[in-house]
Amino acid sequence: MLDKRYIILAIPLGLICLLLCAAVLLGGTNTLEILACLAAFGVTAGLFWYLLMERRAIDVQVESLKNDYKHQRDKASQSCKESKDLRLAVQLLKRQKRNTEAIIYSIPDVVIVTDTGDRLLMANEPAGEFFDFDVKKIMLKPLEELVEKKELVRLVKNSRTTRVRHVKHELQFGSGDNILTCNCIISCIFDDADQVCGVVTILHDITREKEISQMKNEFVSHVSHELKTPLASITAYAEMLVDGEAADEKTRNEFYSIIQSQAQRLNRLIEDILSISRIESGLIKVNKEPVSTALIVRDAVQMIKSYAAEKDIKVEDQTAVVFDQVNADKDMVSQVVINLLSNAVKYTPNGGKVTVNSEVDESRQVVRVTITDTGVGIPPEEQSYIFDKFYRVKANNKCAKGTGLGLNLVKQIVERVHEGQVFVKSEVGKGSSFGFELPLIVAEKTIEK
């Protein structure tokens, strides 16, 4: 469509041309009129030409603007695409960050991440609980402000400055009775330019593992000691016999008797250790059947009476044969009662008394067997340890010898194998009551339902 300005100029230009042609053709026009027409024609043509050029210039501009627009549009489109890619990348990073945070927060160990200035970037809940800070308010706080343990701060800084990829230390936290031992694992994070950009520190609590390891070492040490003691007697007396140091028959017989008794002691110890080990590892064969505890107690009392008679100790069986059926391994429960009776007689001075009582507790659906003596008693502070392996009351060591395993075996058989409960009450100088409870058969059936 033509610009209207062209149309406006084209009309007079056309008219002037027409007039000029008419004047020339008709011959009635003078030179001045022709010149005036020519001048008018020239001006009009000039204007027309100007407009034409302007239009061309505009067209060029428009073309240029179009190109610019196109270019900008392409650029915008590219930016848009890049922006979209960036958004996707950001979303992906956010998701990865969430996943990483979820992993870190789900780790039960203490995890803290610090930057190149040893300031906190991230810490999980266990870290907050361990060092007593709010994990949401720790961003960029210096590690030394949040962690009291100077040694830990020093180790983190040291690892960062020496660019150690991965190192493990053992650290202790707390004091007195509340010492925690932790494995401290420090790892440097490296960027693409192989520069340290952060440090991850993990604290793994190994207190319990250390305790177990120590208990195992102590157990082995105890077992070694207990086994070597009777063995020392056996080898010493055997050597004395071989070397003819026993001057007469009586002495020789005494030596033989000692060797024999010590060998039996060694055997009992080994049996006890094996029994306990088998029970703890679940390898023991258990033959449970309905048995009456009263009858088991009665048989055990008969067995112990001769030993008690040597010390002039009276053993009284006050159990009544009632419906006290329990689902139990008869031999194991026998061993429990014999161990408890044996201890009662052992730690009761001559002329004392041991009483056995068995009763059914209807309210709790258990059978309770209690063995009470008039013996030396156990100090209150030692009563909670009395069922531990190899534990022997120091003050009572003079009274009698023992492996220190009898009560532990009782506990294992009653609680681990039969899901019962052992108990003790004692007063120094007055005596002790040891006992156990086993669930009645009726109660077991109810539980099964």
Partner 1 sequence: MENKKVLVADDEVHIVQVVAMKLRNNGFEVITADNGDEAYKLCCEEKPDIIVTDHQMPGLTGIELAEKIRGTPGIENIPVIILTARGFAIDDQQKEKLNIAECLSKPFSPKELLNHVENILQNSTVN
Footprint of partner 1 (CB under 8 A): 221, 224-226, 228-229, 231-237, 239-240, 243, 245, 258, 262, 394, 397-398
**Closer residue to partner 1, CB minimum distance, 255 or 436:** 255
Q: How far is the CB of 248 from partner 1 (least distance, A)?
A: 12
**Closer residue to partner 1, CB minimum distance, 173 or 237:** 237
Q: How far is the CB of 307 from partner 1 (least distance, A)?
A: 19
**Closer residue to partner 1, CB minimum distance, 211 or 239:** 239
Instruction: Report the alpha-carbon distance of residue 115 to residue 103 in Å, rounded.
Output: 19
Instruction: Report the alpha-carbon distance of residue 270 to residue 265 in Å, rounded.
Output: 9
Q: How far is the CB of 409 from partner 1 (least distance, A)?
A: 22
How much is the CA Rg of the chain, to the nearest whole Å? 51
The 8 Å CB, 24+ separation contacts for 312-316 are 312/350, 312/351, 313/345, 313/348, 313/350, 313/351, 313/352, 313/353, 313/354, 314/352, 314/353, 314/354, 315/341, 315/345, 315/353, 315/354, 315/355, 315/356, 316/353, 316/354, 316/355, 316/356
Question: Residue holding tokens 């208990």?
Answer: 215
**Closer residue to partner 1, CB minimum distance, 153 or 393:** 393
Which residues lie across from 114 on neighbouring strands? 120, 199
Instruction: Report the alpha-carbon distance of residue 261 to residue 281 in Å, rounded.
Output: 30
Q: How far is the CB of 224 from partner 1 (least distance, A)?
A: 6
Q: How far is the CB of 338 from partner 1 (least distance, A)?
A: 25
Q: How far is the CB of 249 from partner 1 (least distance, A)?
A: 16
**Closer residue to partner 1, CB minimum distance, 82 or 245:** 245
**Closer residue to partner 1, CB minimum distance, 198 or 404:** 404
Instruction: Report the alpha-carbon distance of residue 102 to residue 86 in Å, rounded.
Output: 24
Residue 295, number of CB atoms within 10 A of its CB: 14
**Closer residue to partner 1, CB minimum distance, 251 or 318:** 251
Output DSSP code: residue 324: -
The answer to whether residues 81 and 98 touch, using CB atoms and an 8 Å cutoff, is no
Q: How far is the CB of 400 from partner 1 (least distance, A)?
A: 12
Between the CA atoms of 334, 337, 340 and 345, what dihedral angle is there, to the nearest 10 degrees? -100
